[in-house]
Amino acid sequence: MSETTTSEAEVRAVAARGREAAAELAPLRRAQKDAALQAMADALVQHTEAILAANAKDVAAGRDGGLDEGLIDRLALNADRIAAMAQGLRDVAGLPDPVGEVVRGYTQPNGLEIRQIRVPFGVIAMIYEARPNVTVDAAGLALKSGNAALLRGSGSAYESNTVLVQVLSDAAAKAGLPADAILRVPGTDRASVGHLLRARGLVDLIIPRGGAGLINYVVENASVPVIETGVGNVHVYVDASADLDMAERIVVNSKISRPSVCNSAESLLVHRAIADEFLPRITAALQAAGVVLHGDADFAGQPGVEPAGDEDWAREYLSMDMAARVVDSVEEAVAHIRRWSTGHTEAIVSRDLDTARYFVARVDSAAVMVNASTRFTDGGEFGFGAEIGISTQKLHARGPMGLGELTSTKWVVTGEGHTR
């Protein structure tokens, strides 16, 4: 579709509506929110034809505009995908409500009762690319955690997102929630994103989901607090003491299970002590799965391996490509990771406990796997039930973000006429 421009006043007006709704959402009981989530799930299924008709327009426009097939696949919906989105809302309804949870509490010697409890942020804005399912996921998770959802999808999914937001918002309102609990940010041009990033005082938190370009733009231009998510230059280090059968399984799974996602491994590091035995084996296994290896001088001696340079060590491929290098020690592996990692996920395969402890203590990433695939960095796999994204920053939330990470806290102090 052609770009539509939106003024800053229009964006701020929508954010202000979300802020009013947030005040009504914050005190709602779990039963009210869960009933709304169930109603939203039912509405998605009931409106499948309308959603698919809108999505077909987006897909056709994407193909006409030269969108690659990988992005088309992320954009396209079908009845099964809509049913899965609805089930996702039902799953969120079944999760514990984080709001009101006591993070810590104690009684002072003077009798003052002090509690730190979880509370909603208020208005959470999501800025994301291509995938219409994020519209549903974000709305459901924001609502369950007591927040108003302000949604800014990409222009490529404009028709789909417009219908999805309308369906979800109408269902939530009929279930007794504020009419503006779920809102779509108007406009499809970058200027509307800029207006949202500057809506300080109206928007409490922005979470970008997408490629490095989108995330960097949001982080560099926002005056509203941002949780940085997703970019994953992920490494697997195979130590001298590794069980090579285990190492092969972990490396192959980390790379090929789903190469287009942020927890897919992009670089392989192998200790020199096992290189003669392991390099031919892992090269053959990866190539048999369709992976193109970009290797250092040691790996380049294997058939079909392309030479690697700094651009490969730095790259998040999101494809069936992988950088590979031989290192002389765990210290060199850690130094390489600290130089090139984006702080998402790293893995070590080792039977030596001291080496594993050294690696875990010195690798500064949101998740570190010991003898396990990098693909486990995921809210569902961590037992959260759902996630809004994977944070690669260090403040407030780090790693997979579930419902708890969509809350802040406040202190409640109860006395009996205490004065100071």
Res 415 pLDDT > 90: yes
- Cα–Cα distance measured from residue 11 to residue 16, given in angstroms and rounded to the nearest whole number: 9
Mean pLDDT, residues 156-160 taken together: 95
Mean pLDDT, residues 371-389 taken together: 91
Query: What's the pLDDT at 311?
Result: 96
| Distant-in-sequence, close-in-space partners of 211: CB < 8 Å, separation ≥ 6 | 129, 231
What is the percent of the chain where pLDDT is above 70? 99
Helix ranges (H only) for 301-383 are: 310-313, 330-340, 353-362
Query: What's the pLDDT at 15?
Result: 97
Say if strands 113-120 and 123-128 run parallel, antiparallel, or are unpaired.
unpaired
Res 391 pLDDT > 60: yes
| Distant-in-sequence, close-in-space partners of 407: CB < 8 Å, separation ≥ 6 | 98, 99, 118, 119, 120, 121, 145, 146
3-class DSSP assignment, residue 226: strand
Mean pLDDT, residues 69-98 taken together: 93
Mean pLDDT, residues 149-158 taken together: 94
Res 1 pLDDT > 60: no
Res 4 pLDDT > 80: no
pTM, 2 dp: 0.89
Mean pLDDT, residues 293-319 taken together: 95
Mean pLDDT, residues 77-86 taken together: 96
Residue 3 — pLDDT band, cuts 50, 70, 90? Answer: low
3-class DSSP assignment, residue 119: strand
Least confident of 102-116, 225-239, 267-281: 225-239
Contact 399, 150 (CB under 8 A): no
Res 70 pLDDT > 90: no
Res 69 pLDDT > 90: no
The architecture of the domain spanning 8-228+394-414 is: 3-Layer(aba) Sandwich (3.40)
Contact 210, 319 (CB under 8 A): no
Res 339 pLDDT > 90: yes
> Could you give the angle at the alpha carbon of 210 between the alpha carbons of 408 and 219, nearest 5°?
55
pLDDT (tens digit per residue) in 185-197: 998 888 899 999 9
- Cα–Cα distance measured from residue 275 to residue 102, given in angstroms and rounded to the nearest whole number: 51
The architecture of the domain spanning 234-380 is: 3-Layer(aba) Sandwich (3.40)
Mean pLDDT of the chain: 95
**Which residue bears the tokens 């002590």?**
273
Least confident of 23-37, 205-219, 302-316: 205-219
Mean pLDDT, residues 94-120 taken together: 97
Mean pLDDT, residues 295-315 taken together: 96
Res 68 pLDDT > 90: no
Residues of the chain with CATH 3.40.309.10: 234-380
CA-closest candidate to residue 305, choices 327, 277, 328, 282: 282
Res 163 pLDDT > 90: yes
Mean pLDDT, residues 190-213 taken together: 92
- Cα–Cα distance measured from residue 255 to residue 362, given in angstroms and rounded to the nearest whole number: 23
Q: Which residues pair with 105 in a beta bridge?
A: 115
Query: What's the pLDDT at 74?
Result: 84
Residue 2 — pLDDT band, cuts 50, 70, 90? Answer: low
- Cα–Cα distance measured from residue 221 to residue 130, given in angstroms and rounded to the nearest whole number: 21
Query: What's the pLDDT at 231?
Result: 83
Residues of the chain with CATH 3.40.605.10: 8-228+394-414
Query: What's the pLDDT at 405?
Result: 94
| 293 compared with 187, residue with greater pLDDT | 293
Mean pLDDT, residues 298-322 taken together: 95
Query: Residues, the chain, total?
Result: 420
Query: What's the pLDDT at 76?
Result: 94
